[in-house]
Chain A
Amino acid sequence: MAIAVIAIVFGYAGLGLLVAIPMCLVGLGRLDPAAAAGTWGFRVLSIPGVMVLWPVVLGRWLKRGKA
């Protein structure tokens, strides 16, 4: 039970890290113009945020792409 919780948390964060790479390089800039001009510090700092919220940001990015 505890091991399942830990595995889910780390699995989720691992996937988030994969998503974070393209997201911080391009994706965030598509969602917010001020992020497109963001500094490197901002991009690195966004990685943990993407790891937490990756389903949300990925969803918004894909929707934006289709529209």
Chain B
Amino acid sequence: MSVQYRAVNWTRHKVVYDLVLAGACVAFVGVFMVMSMVVHPPPNEVSPPILVMRALGTLAIVLLHVVLAIGPLARLWPRTTFLLANRRHLGVATFLVAGLHAFVVYGFYGGFGVENPVLAVLVRPDGSVGFEFVGFLALLVLLVMAATSHDFWLALLGHGVWKAMHMAVYVAYALVVAHVVFGVLRSEKSLVFPLLLLGGALVLGGLHLVAGGREWRRDAASSDESEDGWIDVGDPHEIPDKRARVVCLGSGNRVAVFRDGDRLSALSNVCAHQGGPLGEGEILDGCATCPWHGYQYHTENGQSPPPYTEKIPTYELRVRGGRVEVNPRPNEPGTPTTPVSITEGGAS
């Protein structure tokens, strides 16, 4: 959307978000260390570098859970969408915290450069590898995503490829779980850690299943074809003003049918920015506005207002027998259409 790229497109909202995030991270490390000192009083205390190491590792895995939970949460409770808009910052924060954790480990066990730190930590003297190596692989995956997170890379790769790369976050999650299971649970006798890990996995799995199931049912419910292939969208009066109804076409593409007063127009449901669900947004300043980061499109031609140049496909609509129908063949991105009136063709 920007006409010129900068490092971070700071807005007031993002500054507040990042400050809160940074404050929460510092507080987490502090509370973790104090708690640990209470639970393990001298002479059984854990040395401070190891505590910092554990605090940062634990914070990283907590952040990873939050990142993974946001997607399905935002689908189930639209109120939490504001978390999603800044998921990128959360993702990068996860990487930075995990990197700091690894750095402290290298520093402590590698003697801050006395031995070759990379080899000292990752490879045992007999040439075998342990859980640290699995952590290293997880960190590499997070690095790839954080390094390519800027909108520039998104535009260069196209959001299909970029999104596919992002799915690697699940690989990172699996590696982190293995890292913790083999690294910590071996020596920790307490049941707290395995239970937390299991609980986290169950919550994440549950959220994804529920959100995915709901999406799937909605798609299955909404594709009645008429004889000439147009798809039924339903009674236009049921679409709330300034909002959209999303229907799934046989091809798997989704269309957002927006209502602005008594006029209806249809756009692709896929935002040109990062593929956000445009139809879950609303019409602001006369434009369909994506709920994720606020990209806007004129409803009648799918074009972003100048100076922005994004274009998304539009679709033809008609009203027959009091029901809206959409032609499943998309127009070229940015093609003007004529909005139809709710009552056109005679309401039943």
Contacts and interface: CB of A to CB of B under 8 A. Distances in A.
Interface of B: 2-8, 118-119, 122-123, 127-129, 133, 140, 143-144, 146-148, 150, 152-153, 155-157
Interface in A1-56: 1-3, 6, 9-10, 28, 31-32, 34-35, 37-39, 41-42, 44-46, 48-49, 51-53, 56
Contact of B148 (A6, A37, A39, A52): A52
B6 A42 contact: yes
A28 B4 CA distance: 13
A53 B148 contact: yes
Contacts of A32: 5, 152, 155-156
Given A6-B118, A37-B5, A53-B153, 14 more contacts: A2-B122, A2-B133, A9-B140, A34-B2, A38-B4, A38-B5, A39-B4, A41-B7, A41-B8, A42-B150, A45-B150, A48-B143, A52-B143, A53-B157
A31 B156 contact: yes
A34 B152 contact: yes
A14 B197 CA distance: 36
Say whether chain A's binding surface is mostly helix, strand, loop, or mixed.
helix
Interface of A: 1-3, 6, 9-10, 28, 31-32, 34-35, 37-39, 41-42, 44-46, 48-49, 51-53, 56-57, 60
B119 A6 contact: yes
B7 A44 contact: yes
B175 to A, nearest CB: 14
Nearest to A41: B7
A39 B6 contact: yes
Nearest to A16: B147
Contacts of A35: 5, 152
A45 B140 contact: no
Nearest to A2: B129
6 contacts: A2-B122, A3-B127, A38-B4, A41-B7, A45-B7, A49-B152
A49 B153 contact: yes
Contacts of B118: 6, 10
A57 B150 CA distance: 15
Given A2-B133, A6-B122, A52-B143, A46 B6 contact: no
Contact of A49 (B6, B122, B150): B150
B6 A38 contact: yes
Contacts of A28: 152
Most buried by A among B123, B147, B155: B147
A16 B93 CA distance: 23
B55 to A, nearest CB: 25
Given A3-B119, A41-B8, A53-B153, A34 B148 contact: no
A51 B148 CA distance: 10
B121 to A, nearest CB: 11
Contact of B4 (A34, A45, A53): A34
A60 B147 CA distance: 19
A40 B97 CA distance: 25
B6 A2 contact: no
A3 B7 CA distance: 35
Nearest to A60: B156
Closest A-B pairs by Cβ, 4 of them: A41-B7, A48-B147, A38-B5, A37-B4
A35 B4 CA distance: 6
A20 B80 CA distance: 38
Nearest to A53: B148
A64 to B, nearest CB: 12
Contacts of B146: 48
Contacts of A49: 147-148, 150, 152-153
B187 to A, nearest CB: 22
A46 B153 CA distance: 9
